[in-house]
């Protein structure tokens, strides 16, 4: 097994007009796929979303998880990518049963066949004040690919000029993000000249980014790309960050989910099959609850986390 580490490289243009990020999240992306066999078109979109979630997460001044979802009305029902503050990610797709998906299906064909697809971004803070709800933005699927949908979202909801280039296949997921920094006069006083310079830098950065083709992004490491794209620019490069795959599922969380289903439904399954078996959608982890486990779930009003692990409780 080869040990590869994913890398997210932040950089900033010298006059602080534009910030950028390049990401190679291929190892994480292969972990996501390890327990699923998605059609090629789904891989492409979900792989791109995985890169985009990490790029946005690293870009936000926010301590918590970002959850990116696309609810579809076509052959794909749902795509989810979660990324926490430490850039640990998990992702999954839910497809309608018995659908055939052509390899060249784009985002619209997969998820917005009837114009009812929705793009949802949730920001879930790590430390919530009591009663605080996660922030959630819901917008129509405005664009035929992941990059366009996110660019439109960032412009309309966050008033931020953002450009994304994303590429993913079976093995690789990489991306580039450029963002025009809100103009606060830069280092010096706000003068029309500085503002003009800032806009020029942004325009130049976008032109350089636009030379990047999907195939080139799939084939080229990000250390080479940063040189190739921006060698004529003065940019400052930060210490690299390292995104990785991580699933946050636990026996306790799955137990809570069963609790929410209610005793009738759970006991019905026990009567029929002897145990309730649940596989995590993200990592495939198998959880099983027998009659005693389930009785214990519903007997207690205490939060499930405080219960003993089922194995010990039965002794």
Positions that interact with Zn ion (CB under 5 A)? 247, 249, 280, 282-283, 285
143 three-class SS: coil
Choose between 79 and 198: whose C-beta lies nearer to Zn ion.
79
Cβ–Cβ < 8 Å for 182, 144 = no
Choose between 148 and 279: whose C-beta lies nearer to Zn ion.
279
Shortest Å distance, C-beta 171 to Zn ion:
22
**What is the separation of C-alpha 313 from the centre of its chain, rounded to a whole number of angstroms?**
37
Shortest Å distance, C-beta 245 to Zn ion:
10
How does DSSP classify residue 190? -
Choose between 282 and 289: whose C-beta lies nearer to Zn ion.
282
Shortest Å distance, C-beta 1 to Zn ion:
21
Q: What angle do CA 47, 135, 59 make, to 5 degrees?
A: 50
Residue 236 to residue 239: CA distance in whole angstroms: 10
Shortest Å distance, C-beta 138 to Zn ion:
25
Shortest Å distance, C-beta 90 to Zn ion:
7
Choose between 148 and 285: whose C-beta lies nearer to Zn ion.
285
Choose between 177 and 280: whose C-beta lies nearer to Zn ion.
280
Choose between 33 and 285: whose C-beta lies nearer to Zn ion.
285
Shortest Å distance, C-beta 312 to Zn ion:
22
Nearest one of 271, 267, 265, 268 to 294, comparing CA atoms: 267
Exposure string over 129-168, b if 16+ CB within 10 A, otherwise e = eeeeeeeeeeeebbbebbbebbbbbbeeeeeebbbbbbbb
Residue 24 to residue 61: CA distance in whole angstroms: 21
């Amino acid at each position: 097994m080869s040990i590869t580490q994913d890398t997210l490289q932040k950089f900033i243009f010298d006059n602080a007009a534009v910030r950028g990020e390049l990401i190679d999240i291929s190892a994480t992306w292969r972990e996501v796929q390890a327990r699923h066999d998605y059609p090629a078109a789904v891989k492409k979109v979900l792989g791109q979303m995985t890169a985009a979630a990490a790029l946005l997460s690293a870009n936000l001044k926010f301590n918590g998880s970002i959850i990116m979802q696309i609810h579809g009305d076509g052959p794909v029902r749902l795509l989810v990518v979660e990324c926490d503050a430490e850039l640990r990610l998990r992702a999954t797709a839910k497809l309608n049963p018995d659908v055939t998906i052509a390899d060249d299906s784009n985002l619209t064909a997969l998820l917005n066949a009837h114009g009812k697809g929705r793009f949802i971004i949730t920001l879930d803070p790590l430390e919530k004040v009591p009663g605080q709800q996660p922030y959630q933005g819901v917008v129509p699927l405005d664009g035929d690919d992941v990059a366009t949908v996110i660019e439109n979202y960032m412009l309309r909801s966050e008033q931020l000029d953002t450009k994304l280039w994303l590429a993913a296949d079976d093995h690789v997921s990489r991306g580039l993000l450029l963002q025009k920094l809100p103009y606060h006069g830069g280092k010096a006083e706000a003068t029309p000249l500085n503002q003009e310079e800032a806009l020029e830098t942004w325009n130049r950065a976008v032109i350089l980014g636009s030379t990047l083709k999907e195939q080139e992004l799939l084939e080229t490491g990000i250390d080479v790309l940063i040189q190739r794209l921006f060698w004529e620019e003065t940019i400052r490069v930060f210490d690299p960050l390292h995104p990785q795959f991580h699933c946050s599922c636990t026996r306790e969380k799955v137990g809570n989910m069963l609790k929410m289903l209610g005793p009738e439904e759970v006991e019905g399954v026990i009567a029929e099959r002897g145990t309730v078996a649940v596989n995590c959608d993200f990592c495939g982890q198998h959880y099983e609850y027998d009659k005693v486990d389930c009785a214990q779930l519903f007997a207690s009003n205490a939060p499930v986390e405080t219960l003993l692990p089922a194995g010990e409780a039965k002794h």
